[in-house]
Amino acid sequence: MGKLWEKGIKADEDIVSFTVGKDYILDQRLVKYDCYGSIAHAEMLNKIGILSNKEKDAIVGTLNEIINLSEEGDFKILPQDEDCHTKIENYLTEKLGKTGEKIHTARSRNDQVVTALRLYYKDELNKIKELAKNFLDSLRSLSDRYRDVKIPGFTHTRKAMVTNIKVWCDSFIEGLLDDMDMVNAVIYMIDQSPLGTGAGFGIPVLKIDRKFTQKMLHFERIQNNPIYVQNSRGKFEGEIVSVLSMIFFDINKFASDVIILSEDDIKIIAIPDKFTTGSSMMPQKKNPDVFEIARANYAKVVSLEMRLKMLPSNLISGYHRDLQLTKEAIFEAFDITENTLKTISKVMKELKINRKNAEKFVTEELSATQKAYELVEKGIPFREAYRIVAKNLSTPSHKTPS
Amino acid sequence: MGKLWEKGIKADEDIVSFTVGKDYILDQRLVKYDCYGSIAHAEMLNKIGILSNKEKDAIVGTLNEIINLSEEGDFKILPQDEDCHTKIENYLTEKLGKTGEKIHTARSRNDQVVTALRLYYKDELNKIKELAKNFLDSLRSLSDRYRDVKIPGFTHTRKAMVTNIKVWCDSFIEGLLDDMDMVNAVIYMIDQSPLGTGAGFGIPVLKIDRKFTQKMLHFERIQNNPIYVQNSRGKFEGEIVSVLSMIFFDINKFASDVIILSEDDIKIIAIPDKFTTGSSMMPQKKNPDVFEIARANYAKVVSLEMRLKMLPSNLISGYHRDLQLTKEAIFEAFDITENTLKTISKVMKELKINRKNAEKFVTEELSATQKAYELVEKGIPFREAYRIVAKNLSTPSHKTPS
Amino acid sequence: MGKLWEKGIKADEDIVSFTVGKDYILDQRLVKYDCYGSIAHAEMLNKIGILSNKEKDAIVGTLNEIINLSEEGDFKILPQDEDCHTKIENYLTEKLGKTGEKIHTARSRNDQVVTALRLYYKDELNKIKELAKNFLDSLRSLSDRYRDVKIPGFTHTRKAMVTNIKVWCDSFIEGLLDDMDMVNAVIYMIDQSPLGTGAGFGIPVLKIDRKFTQKMLHFERIQNNPIYVQNSRGKFEGEIVSVLSMIFFDINKFASDVIILSEDDIKIIAIPDKFTTGSSMMPQKKNPDVFEIARANYAKVVSLEMRLKMLPSNLISGYHRDLQLTKEAIFEAFDITENTLKTISKVMKELKINRKNAEKFVTEELSATQKAYELVEKGIPFREAYRIVAKNLSTPSHKTPS
Amino acid sequence: MGKLWEKGIKADEDIVSFTVGKDYILDQRLVKYDCYGSIAHAEMLNKIGILSNKEKDAIVGTLNEIINLSEEGDFKILPQDEDCHTKIENYLTEKLGKTGEKIHTARSRNDQVVTALRLYYKDELNKIKELAKNFLDSLRSLSDRYRDVKIPGFTHTRKAMVTNIKVWCDSFIEGLLDDMDMVNAVIYMIDQSPLGTGAGFGIPVLKIDRKFTQKMLHFERIQNNPIYVQNSRGKFEGEIVSVLSMIFFDINKFASDVIILSEDDIKIIAIPDKFTTGSSMMPQKKNPDVFEIARANYAKVVSLEMRLKMLPSNLISGYHRDLQLTKEAIFEAFDITENTLKTISKVMKELKINRKNAEKFVTEELSATQKAYELVEKGIPFREAYRIVAKNLSTPSHKTPS
């Protein structure tokens, strides 16, 4: 069994290993989706008369077998298999002979891989929506438990005015709801069936039925243009990861807040000991590593997005092998989004707010604005009220630390 | 007249100049939007009884006067004015005395600037939708004029299969339509009224009417959470520019294609001489500079997006002066998106396709796939047909350049 | 007078304006350097017999005239002049007729612009070294004034151990010294004369003397390869800005420290009022805007570096108009590096350290490691000493905020 | 055996797994370097009297044992081991009891990890220098074999003037030599011993000998400042990867050239079949995947650099767990630099230049500049010669493709 494109010349092993890269590992998670795509393709080939019922049944049966093997962890792609598509087709051909070979009629690896990827992306994005919902729930629960606890709000990293835990939690809830709108927007964008566009220029001669495979694979609509199918690689991935970076924008800010509010001299938020780590040299330290890693992942996701946007730049239309590198980037982005959401939600369930510490930290000068507005209510223009209050703050912001 | 926050201590001039940066120039385009926001705010203050009818009329009248001055180019912000908000308020106070001062009741520069920016963003995004429509029209027109001209499709920067001008044009049309969906998604996301959230923690004491200003400013809905209003700075900008980068992804590919297809040895696309530039040393050169600049702008927009995403990273909730730098980044992104769309659309109207050159360039081996499928139609499995055709290509890809 | 490459066909005005972009403004600062390059070139053409003494004197005289005009601000490049090279050559030709035209013998705008840019870069990098020296001086002076003041050192944004102002200042001094090593490394890298490489493929027929111009322009050595001269555009700029980003890495950290250490509840560092800004709504606020802008500029420089690295990606050898965009990026990077260094150095001269607040903030548990080592001195293995001290810290990190 | 910092509270498994991330895999390559660091540390502790000769010998012996195990692949770090430092110390303690525990006297994981990393970086950078030398050799060999073959030089992706294989090869040779200068500059920068700086604030009480460990570990000099040791994390890594990105800048351009010059209609460069890959649908295709992957890796390295520069932004001085993510980024950058250099060098040894195709592709108009200079030699000013040649080019750049 060989590469799908081998013509009798033996490829150099080092070069194959360099070009395959981590693909054989990354593709492990695509096996299932590639089988789904192939099943729909086989059914379609049967419908238009290229596969007999018997051939189709054999192929579909074997593909289902592969799905089962894969779910048990028994369908391992090895470096020499190159990728999941080759491995699956080789399995079909080994088992079914010429019948197995027929599956690649009227398709190219180019549309095949985009189909599998897109099915996978949709699943991951829906998983992320679920995980975000859990995070929202834990934010709501924290808010409910401590809604009335007053805490300082900051501007310029300085205490500014009085706010409270509910308002603070709500700021992330509203942020995540916006993110979910954008997740839905990218799901809609990518929800187009690429199957049937071949190598990027359609399938000549044969009369394939793209509507049939689109419906069977539950895509919202067909992606008509075969060139665009290839050109949208990198583009769709870039925008998906951009939206994931919005989620991480919020996580980054949330984590930054928690790290500050749980500092030893503030301790409004108490992170349970089992979620902290210590220092190998300083006996007293309890560190918020989990929030630091969550915070740091923002930089990772942004850099992955940037890679996706840079990779296809200045390249002409049509598939380029460069696009293979989009896989690792988006897979990594999905993984850390999911891991981070899961972990943060778990920790949040046990975060505690220390009322007493919060009270102490809400110092008097944070009410300066409120005092100014009380003067406004008495008819004094705000600008004048502002100056009166400013003057009366004996040592406006020179309060020595108590 | 001084800074809105001056308390009697004179600020160091160098430091003011450093922190103000280019703001006084950038803000020129915000004058109108800041006046809109202030008019709505004045009407609301009147409604809740803080401004009398007479005061409100004076303020609104003066703000309309500023809008007119600004449209005539007669409302210049100078470096010492710091930004448009200060300049406008100083103008009001100079003209109306204490009445002018009252406009800043129940608001902060923090919610004021976000309001002006968001109104401005919405206008720009709608302008971009119009310009994209023009680009779509010129793509459709090119497609109509030359729809049946066969050209080679490329994979791996090599001629691969036969396609045609219509399919090529359509690939960009479909791409832009996806982009417009995403433009609409970000417009929806940002279409939230921030006015009335003050410095990021709401307006204490006074009973303001946020619904009133939201309606008057034609925002789709209220952005409830005051902390989130400030935290969405950078986040919204980053996602807007991400979507602009999608448009540039398509422009980058279109320009890359045109540059290759208009090469001297291909010349399928003819760029009219008046749109090319020459070399100062090589008499024969006619260069596609306009497409090179269009292509290069993709890198500029991606880098601006990256800046927007990096700026607020690792900062806690609430306004930071760092966010001021988001203005320059998004303004630049709007400008080059608009300039590029305009210019490309203009050039496209006069692009010509050279049929004869296209024919010559569509060489025989590009039909290999088609031949394989003709064998498939006769019942031969594709894999076998592929090998038959591959063998019969006398010099598969070793065709000497003619 | 027209473009250097005009051949009788009138270029479209919109397209010229789009491709010229901001070049006519950016090039203002290159006038002097372009004249230096042209003077050396004229002397060389005289040496090899292409310019007579009289012609050479006329050209050099006029170029010196332009340098003087430019220094007085009287040599303004207008949009229709396209760039400084065209403007200068047109000036020469207007004044000297055919003699003026001869300056462009044996060169292309491609090597001409790289020559001017590189002379400019060297000047800017040396200016930055001077400014960094001032910053180092102000760090040393701060260190000297307060060397013995104990402050807490942080890990994980938590107080960790005791350190002092001197060690803190030294950390930035050592950082900047490393940066200066790298500045020197990039100066060495770019210190190669590109003049005489033409459009990227050398000067045919004529026997030019590249050594002569290299010496005259004080370049360290010749950049031999003409293709590499063009290919190094973007590459050299990217690495220069990478090194500037190292300086900003240090500034970003310094600013972040100052912002935290000058917080109202810590106030170890006192920023004089004249260097702070206030809030338009909160009477008590004094904000560290100057440090926030300095901090934020790191993101700007990193994004400019990224733009420079992305612009030429995937393009083949030789000049592309895309490279024009490298100018704006590196010019902006120089500007903010210089402005930021200047401003920070000025502010630092008046920063004050509040000993009393520092003392209060150096709480007891910061000596836990020291205590452990005191046990080690008595022969107890560190791991055991660590556990003893950890146990004895009654409420290890639950100290309520005082 | 537990974490180095455990104080009796059991850490949550999910949280440990999240924070550890891939560290246990990444650290596999650090085992050797961590042992080197620990051996030097043990010798120093012996020198200053903290370890007896017997204790020191036992520790050093066991560390050498670990190095041997590790080289045989028999020292596997498992997820529950957290990282190599814990695993190594646990091994020491299991084997040597209290004596093993003593190794962590007078150090922190913070200086320990930086020591191991820096030793590793130096090794990798030296390896890269070797691999770059091989690449240089293969460029020189290609140049020697085909030095006189004329090929077109391009500007604006259009044929411009005549050049040759030697000049083309030399452009990359000169580029790589500049890169090597910068590699040496970063090696010098990082060649500072961090050992003995503890958690970032030095080692209190004990009189350690940093000079001793510096010498023993072959560091060029000591990194004096303990805060700077921690602050240089991310900074050094960012600059190292920036320099690697310069190498990839050159590889990207080289690969881009090869991809174009080996196109079917040009075929000046012949890539041996065994280094190409085919299409699963188009029988005639032979694709330059190896050069596409090499080219694409530039985007990967730039994005990793960007991640390294973004990660520590806006964080105050001192270690943050965020910095752990710098490891994966720089390790990936080393890996693809080495793999790509190796692979490209191998392929280059068998690249062939097709003289006949090169000749055909060097068309007449490429000599226009030469002709103009021949007129200059006859005394005609270049600008006039240019116009004469331009006029005589019957169809300047409208040459139909032959």
pLDDT of residue B82: 83
DSSP 3-state of C159: strand
CA A66 to chain D, closest CA, distance in angstroms equals 21
Q: Is the pLDDT of residue C243 over 50?
A: yes
Chains in contact with B, counting 3 or more C-beta pairs less than 8 Å apart as contact? A, C, D
Q: Which residues of C touch D260 (CB under 8 A)?
A: 316
Beta pairing partners, A54:
none
Regarding whether B277 and B232 lie in a shared domain, the answer is yes
Query: Measured between CB atoms, which of C174, C189, C370 is closest to D182?
Result: C189
Regarding whether B387 and B356 lie in a shared domain, the answer is no
Q: Is the pLDDT of residue B365 over 90?
A: no
**Is D349 part of the contact surface with chain A (CB cutoff 8 Å)?**
no
β-pairing, D158-164 vs B158-164, is: unpaired
**Is A53 part of the contact surface with chain D (CB cutoff 8 Å)?**
no
Query: pLDDT-derived band of residue A3, with 50, 70 and 90 as boundaries?
Result: low
pLDDT average, residue stretch B207-219? 97
pLDDT of residue B222: 98
Q: Is the pLDDT of residue C19 over 50?
A: yes
* Helices H / strands E in chain C, number of each: 15, 6
Q: Which residues of C touch D258 (CB under 8 A)?
A: none
A residues 92-131 near D, CB within 8 Å? 104, 107-110
Q: Is the pLDDT of residue A165 over 60?
A: yes
Q: Is the pLDDT of residue B321 over 80?
A: yes
* Helices H / strands E in chain D, number of each: 16, 6
Identify the DSSP state of A28: G
Regarding whether A185 and A131 lie in a shared domain, the answer is yes
Q: Do C239 and C212 form a contact (C-beta atoms < 8 A)?
A: no
Query: Measured between CB atoms, which of D160, D204, D298 is closest to C370?
Result: D204
Please give the mean pLDDT across all residues of chain A: 92
**Is D53 part of the contact surface with chain B (CB cutoff 8 Å)?**
no
pLDDT of residue D7: 55
Please give the mean pLDDT across all residues of chain B: 92
B residues 216-235 near D, CB within 8 Å? none
Q: Do C303 and B310 form a contact (C-beta atoms < 8 A)?
A: yes
CA C233 to chain D, closest CA, distance in angstroms equals 11
Q: Is the pLDDT of residue B144 over 80?
A: yes
Domain contains A3: no
Query: pLDDT-derived band of residue B36, with 50, 70 and 90 as boundaries?
Result: very high
The yes-or-no answer on residue C156 being catalytic is yes
Q: What is the CATH number of the domain that holds B164?
A: 1.20.200.10
pLDDT of residue C9: 63
Domain contains D1: no
Q: Is the pLDDT of residue D8 over 70?
A: no
Regarding whether A142 and A30 lie in a shared domain, the answer is no
Instruction: Count interface pairs A-B at CB distance under 8 A.
Output: 298
List the catalytic residue out of C17, C52, C218, C279.
C279
The residue among D105, D129, D146 that closes a domain is D105
pLDDT digits (tens, 9 = 90+) for B251-264: 999 999 999 999 98
Domain contains B3: no
Regarding whether B162 and B256 lie in a shared domain, the answer is yes
Q: Is the pLDDT of residue B289 over 50?
A: yes
Where in the sequence is the domain holding A285, given as residue range(s)?
Answer: 110-360
Q: Is the pLDDT of residue C397 over 60?
A: no
Q: Which residues of B touch D389 (CB under 8 A)?
A: 283-284
Q: Is the pLDDT of residue A223 over 90?
A: yes
Q: What is the CATH number of the domain that holds A34?
A: 1.10.275.10
Q: Is the pLDDT of residue D396 over 70?
A: no
The yes-or-no answer on residue A279 being catalytic is yes
Q: Is the pLDDT of residue A284 over 90?
A: no
Q: Which residues of A touch B167 (CB under 8 A)?
A: 201-202, 225-227
Chains in contact with D, counting 3 or more C-beta pairs less than 8 Å apart as contact? A, B, C
How far lies A90's CA from each of A20, B376, B389, C121, D296, in Å?
A: 17, 20, 21, 58, 28
The pTM of the full predicted model, rounded to 2 decimals, is 0.95
Query: pLDDT-derived band of residue C400, with 50, 70 and 90 as boundaries?
Result: very low
Cβ of A199 and B98 within 8 Å?
no
How many other C-beta atoms can be found within 10 angstroms of the C-beta atom of residue A9?
A: 12
pLDDT of residue C191: 98
Cα D375 vs. chain centroid, distance in angstroms?
A: 50
pLDDT digits (tens, 9 = 90+) for B325-344: 999 999 999 999 999 999 99
Q: Give the highest mean pLDDT range of A297-301, C74-78, D367-371.
A: A297-301
Cα B63 vs. chain centroid, distance in angstroms?
A: 28
pLDDT of residue D1: 41
What domain count does chain B have?
3
Query: pLDDT-derived band of residue C5, with 50, 70 and 90 as boundaries?
Result: low
Q: Is the pLDDT of residue A262 over 90?
A: yes
Compare B9 and C371 and report the one with higher pLDDT: C371
Q: Do B322 and B310 form a contact (C-beta atoms < 8 A)?
A: no
Compare C42 and C280 and report the one with higher pLDDT: C42
Regarding whether B148 and B207 lie in a shared domain, the answer is yes
Q: Is the pLDDT of residue D49 over 90?
A: yes
pLDDT of residue B180: 98
How far lies C251's CA from each of B119, C139, C175, C297, D326, in Å?
A: 34, 12, 10, 9, 20
Question: Which position has the token pair 């509010």?
Answer: A261
pLDDT average, residue stretch D370-376? 88
pLDDT average, residue stretch A55-75? 97
Q: Name which of A89-93, A118-122, B226-230 the model is least confident about.
A: A89-93
Domain contains A355: yes
Query: Measured between CB atoms, which of D204, D243, D320 is closest to C369?
Result: D204
Regarding whether B326 and B219 lie in a shared domain, the answer is yes
Q: Is the pLDDT of residue B77 over 80?
A: yes
pLDDT digits (tens, 9 = 90+) for D320-353: 999 999 999 999 999 999 999 999 999 999 999 9
Q: Do B111 and B195 form a contact (C-beta atoms < 8 A)?
A: yes
C residues 251-270 near A, CB within 8 Å? 259-260, 263-267
Cβ of A318 and B175 within 8 Å?
no
Q: Name which of A241-255, B336-350, D278-292 the model is least confident about.
A: D278-292
Q: Name which of B275-284, B382-391, C26-35, D293-302 the model is least confident about.
A: B275-284
Domain contains B148: yes
Q: Name which of B237-241, C22-26, D8-12, D337-341 the model is least confident about.
A: D8-12
Residue to mutate among C1, C4, C5, with most B CBs inside 10 A, is: C5
Pick the residue from chain A with its C-alpha nearest to B374.
Answer: A205
pLDDT of residue D21: 87
Task: Kindly write down the DSSP assignment for every residue of B136-185, as one continuous string.
Answer: HHHHHHHHHHHTT-EEEEEETTEEEEEEEHHHHHHHHHHHHHHHHHHHHH
pLDDT digits (tens, 9 = 90+) for D130-185: 999 999 999 999 999 998 899 999 999 999 999 999 999 999 999 999 999 999 99
Q: Is the pLDDT of residue C169 over 60?
A: yes
Q: Do B59 and B92 form a contact (C-beta atoms < 8 A)?
A: yes
pLDDT average, residue stretch D272-279? 84
Nearest to A226 by CA among A202, A243, A204, A191: A202
Q: Is the pLDDT of residue A237 over 90?
A: yes
How many other C-beta atoms can be found within 10 angstroms of the C-beta atom of residue C64?
A: 12
pLDDT of residue B396: 40
The residue among C73, C105, C137 that closes a domain is C105
Q: Name which of B7-11, B314-318, D291-295 the model is least confident about.
A: B7-11
Regarding whether D392 and D351 lie in a shared domain, the answer is no
Query: pLDDT-derived band of residue D93, with 50, 70 and 90 as boundaries?
Result: very high
Please give the mean pLDDT across all residues of chain D: 92
pLDDT average, residue stretch D207-220? 98
In one-letter notation, the amino acid at residue D299 is: A
Regarding whether B381 and B260 lie in a shared domain, the answer is no
pLDDT of residue D398: 34
CA A387 to chain D, closest CA, distance in angstroms equals 33
Domain contains D3: no
Regarding whether B271 and B392 lie in a shared domain, the answer is no
Query: pLDDT-derived band of residue C395, with 50, 70 and 90 as boundaries?
Result: very low
Regarding whether A163 and A151 lie in a shared domain, the answer is yes
pLDDT average, residue stretch D206-233? 97
Task: Kindly write down the DSSP assignment for every residue of A189-248, as one continuous string.
Answer: HH-EE-TT-TTTT---SS---HHHHHHHTT-SEE---HHHHHHTTTHHHHHHHHHHHHHH
- Please provide the distance, in angstroms rounded to a whole number, between the alpha carbons at the two ends of chain A: 76
In chain A, % of residues over pLDDT 90: 75
Compare D228 and A275 and report the one with higher pLDDT: D228
CA distance B393 to B48: 84
pLDDT digits (tens, 9 = 90+) for A341-369: 999 999 999 999 999 999 999 988 898 88
Regarding whether B142 and B93 lie in a shared domain, the answer is no
Q: Is the pLDDT of residue B178 over 60?
A: yes
In chain C, % of residues over pLDDT 90: 75
DSSP 3-state of D161: strand
Domain contains C6: no
Query: Measured between CB atoms, which of C153, C201, C376 is closest to D160?
Result: C201
Cα B172 vs. chain centroid, distance in angstroms?
A: 18
List the catalytic residue out of A17, A52, A218, A279.
A279
**Is A327 part of the contact surface with chain D (CB cutoff 8 Å)?**
no
Ramachandran angles phi, psi of D222, nearest 5°: -90, 140
Domain contains C183: yes
**Is B397 part of the contact surface with chain D (CB cutoff 8 Å)?**
yes
**Is B189 part of the contact surface with chain A (CB cutoff 8 Å)?**
yes
Tokens of B185: 């998604």
Chains in contact with C, counting 3 or more C-beta pairs less than 8 Å apart as contact? A, B, D
pLDDT average, residue stretch A3-31? 80
pLDDT average, residue stretch D258-286? 87
Cβ of D286 and B360 within 8 Å?
no
pLDDT of residue B3: 57
Nearest to C5 by CA among D368, B262, B259, D387: D387
